[in-house]
Amino acid sequence: MLPTDFSSPSSTILITCPHGIGPYLRKEVTDLGLRVKETTEASVSTTGTLNDCMVLNLRLSTAHRVLFFVEEFLCKTAEDLYRRITRLPWELVLNKSSYLCVTSLVRNPSITDTRFPNVKAKDAIVDRLVNRTGARCDSGPERTGTVVHLHWVGSRCSVYLDTSGESLSRRGYRRLPEGAPLQETLAAAIIRASVWNRSMNFVNPMCGSG
């Protein structure tokens, strides 16, 4: 049964990763004590709470994003999207001092501009907040506050809270990268695929930009 509000103590957590790294991400998730529901080449799904999402964001080295599932519904048009998004209790996670960002992956024949669903969902969330609390929150493209992600393919739309914001592969320490830096998530997967057992010395012949 799909959760209908954000007070649900647990939900599906979808964790994305670079293509081909799914099995290594699965091992990381199980090492943290969570049961894996499904593994693909580019994702792992498990069940947990928002607290579990925080742990996953802090501890995972091969993941890109940690998405907390909110709801899935039938959605054929942008008006369907607005109507269903408005029904969700956004006032439980947003207030007038919040900052909202909406992202999406959309493949629907009624949508010709992929930015339009983001605007439509943002309007629905803000309108719900105004109707319930009398205040609106700021919104924009920066993933520095509450990030809502839509996965709308065909006639089905899933809504997630993107608990990572910026991709976890962007650690923030690489200020002056050279021409071809290795992505941190891929580097972590390569190490996990090696025979290194953490008790031996580690030699990286291609440190830096190779």
Backbone phi, psi, residue 93, to 5°: -125, -5
Mean pLDDT of 136-165: 94
Mean pLDDT of 97-124: 93
Q: Please state the separation of Cα 25 from the chain's center in Å.
A: 15
pLDDT of res. 124? 97
Contact 65, 160 (CB under 8 A): no
CA distance 171 to 167: 8
| 126 confidence band (pLDDT: 50, 70, 90) | very high
Backbone phi, psi, residue 102, to 5°: -115, 130
Backbone phi, psi, residue 54, to 5°: -65, -40
Contact 56, 45 (CB under 8 A): no
Average pLDDT along the chain = 88
- pTM for the structure as a whole: 0.86
pLDDT digits (tens, 9 = 90+) for 20-72: 999 999 999 999 999 999 999 999 999 999 999 999 999 999 999 999 999 99
Return the DSSP state at 174: -
Mean pLDDT of 121-147: 93
Contact 168, 63 (CB under 8 A): yes
| 203 confidence band (pLDDT: 50, 70, 90) | confident
> At residue 33, what is the residue type?
G
pLDDT above 50 for 3: no
pLDDT of res. 125? 96
Q: Facing residues of 46 across strands?
A: 13, 36
Mean pLDDT of 168-180: 66
The residue assigned the tokens 């609106």 is 136
